[in-house]
Amino acid sequence: MSEHLKRRIGLPLLVAYGVGVMVGAGIYVLVGAVAGVSGQWAPFAFLLAGLVAAPTALSYAEFSTRIPEAAGEAAYIGKGFGSDLLAVLVGLAIVAAGTISAAAVLRGGAGYLLGLADIPVIWAVVVMGLVLTLVAVIGVMESMSLVALFTAIEIIGLVLVVWAGATSGPVAELSGPVPWGGIGAGAMLAFFAFIGFEDIVNMAEEVREPTRTMPRAILLSLLITSGLYALVVWAALRAVPADQLAGSEQPLALVWAASTGGTGRFLSAIAVFAALNGVLAQIVMASRVLFGLGKRNPVLGLFHHAHPRFGTPALASVIVGTGVIIGAVLLPVAVLAETTSAVLLAVFVLVNAALIAVKRRGEPGPFEVPMFVPILGLVLSAVALAASL
């Protein structure tokens, strides 16, 4: 068994991974919820959410060049606070959050699949989970290539929604005073559609030239996703009134139906691909965190091995994949999603605090952001965490 992962990932695949994790199934559901709060101003809520995520993303970008390791957040927090115990606890929390998040998305994807094919939900969950775990074990290039393919399918679906909304007659226009409260409340909801950029840092040990590639991938993923979200929401609100979007469980299918007269059934198929993408990306991420933790803690040392043939953390991938399948079968989706968001926001607070501590010690890094960036990231993440609780 090797203790080193292979550096095979370049910028395009890493950006596709980041965009794929963020777009996931979130935008397919969140459009209606944000429109219900922000009305016609919902595109600005998504842009504001992207701005709220940006300082923390920049903090991650700096840390990813200082410590290009798997189990990134654990390593950052260990470095900032000088505590291996806190680092391991945070790492395990991230593994748990990734597993829980993937379980929620797998269950949701199985639900969309049932709308297309009449099969028992438990079989859909188990078969999809086993296939994705197998892909994660076989190789990182195979996993990342499949993520890139699924991401392309997701984006094609969203581009079709934008086209449909843009070519329909507008049902409402922006008017009246700007509802800053509604935009702020919508941004808090929309923020969860941006969670995922942090997963990129856990691929650092398999990235070529990580000090150059990592910051670019994080920032490009965030920019692409912010622009795409704002366009999708603008198109949705052009085609369908905000109150109707808010009341729909499949808001983008509603946009397609209102604009073209079609059923939008293909969007359910795309939502299945979005779910598969989210699950695979989380299995890949969480297994890398376990691999990295194995180097820090002897109790977890059995996970710090790469498969001699596949070059992946095979045991960690199997453990995470099994946890995902069990969670998807046994736990309700709402509980899964809420738990994930709270854990990740708490980690954002700690990562920003750790970077402040490192910068105060005056330690130079290959890529540095001004001190106000992690301070702003800490404040915004703490506010979002308080709002989520």
Distance CA 186, CA 246 (A): 12
Alpha-carbon Rg for the chain, nearest whole angstrom, is 20
Helix (H) or strand (E) holding 3: none
Residues 219 and 37: their CA atoms lie apart, in Å, by 28
Q: Where are the alpha helices (DSSP H) in 168-262?
A: 180-190, 210-239, 242-246, 251-260
What does the domain layout of the chain look like in residue ranges? 11-388
Q: Which residue has the tokens 């934008």?
A: 162
pLDDT at 308 (0 to 100)? 76
CA gap 175, 241 in Å, rounded:
14
Q: What is the DSSP letter of 261?
A: S
User: In this structure, how many other beta carbons lie within 10 angstroms of the beta carbon of residue 122?
Assistant: 12
Identify which of 269, 23, 26, 276 has the alpha carbon closest to the alpha carbon of residue 135: 276
Give bridge partners of residue 306 from the DSSP assignment. 2
Tokens of 104: 């929620």
pLDDT digit string (tens) for the chain, length 389 residues: 455 667 778 899 899 888 988 886 567 767 888 888 888 888 888 888 888 889 999 999 999 899 888 778 888 999 999 988 899 899 998 898 888 888 878 887 777 777 677 778 788 889 889 999 998 888 777 888 888 888 899 899 899 999 998 888 777 776 777 788 888 888 877 887 887 888 888 788 888 888 889 899 999 999 999 889 889 999 998 988 888 888 776 788 888 888 888 777 788 788 788 888 888 888 988 898 888 888 877 877 777 777 778 777 888 899 999 999 998 888 765 566 666 777 888 999 999 999 999 999 988 888 899 999 999 999 999 988 887 77
CA distance 155 to 142: 20
**Residues forming beta bridges with residue 367, ordered by sequence position:** none
> Residue 61: which of 72, 51, 52 has the closest Cα?
72
Residue 47 in contact with residue 223, Cβ under 8 Å?
no
Tell me which residue of 44, 48, 81 sits closest to 178, measured CA to CA. 44
d(CA 201, CA 257): 39
In angstroms, the CA 57 to CA 62 distance is 9
Say what the pLDDT of residue 26 is.
Answer: 66
**196 with 18: CB under 8 angstroms?**
yes
| Residue 301: DSSP 8-state | G
Beta bridge partners of 32: none
Alpha carbon of residue 251 to chain centroid = 20
Q: Does the pTM of the predicted model rise above 0.85?
A: no
Q: DSSP states of 276-288 as a string? A: HHHHHHHHHHHHH
Q: Could you please state the CATH topology (level 3) that the domain comprising 11-388 is classified under.
A: Amino acid/polyamine transporter I (1.20.1740)
Residue entry with tokens 């750790």: 354
Alpha-carbon distance of 191 to 356, in angstroms, equals 23
- Per-residue pLDDT of 213-272, as tens digits, reads 989 999 999 999 988 988 999 999 898 888 888 877 678 888 888 888 877 778 878 878
Provide the 8-state DSSP code for 116.
T
Q: Which of 133, 147, 105 lies closest to 14, judged by CA?
A: 147
